Amino acid sequence: MIILFDLDDTLIDSESAHLLAFDQMCQEHLKIENNNAQNWITIKNRNLNLFFEGKISLEEHRLNSIIEFCKNKRLQNFKS
């Protein structure tokens, strides 16, 4: 068995794959379009920085990111 660790994205462009998958999920399942992946990355990174600074927990980072994204997109049936 061989296990590969791609620490610097030289084997797989994981960021682009992540962005493409997120956009596809938004279009297919949430029925929203227009720059979702970049908006998500901005929100996620802002909350991730708060986590690294010790201001919020990892769970708060995840929840805050999802809540902010959904509120920004004004998703119906979303409750925070």
Unique residue bearing structure tokens 């297919």: 28
State how far the Cα of 48 lies from the Cα of 27, in Å rounded to an integer: 25
Considering the entire predicted model, what is its pTM?
0.67
CB 29 within 8 A of CB 35: no
pLDDT at 76 over 70: no
pLDDT of 18 higher than 90: no
Q: Given this model, what pLDDT does residue 75 score?
A: 67
The per-residue pLDDT for range 27-39, each reduced to its tens digit, is 888 787 777 888 8
pLDDT of residue 72: 79
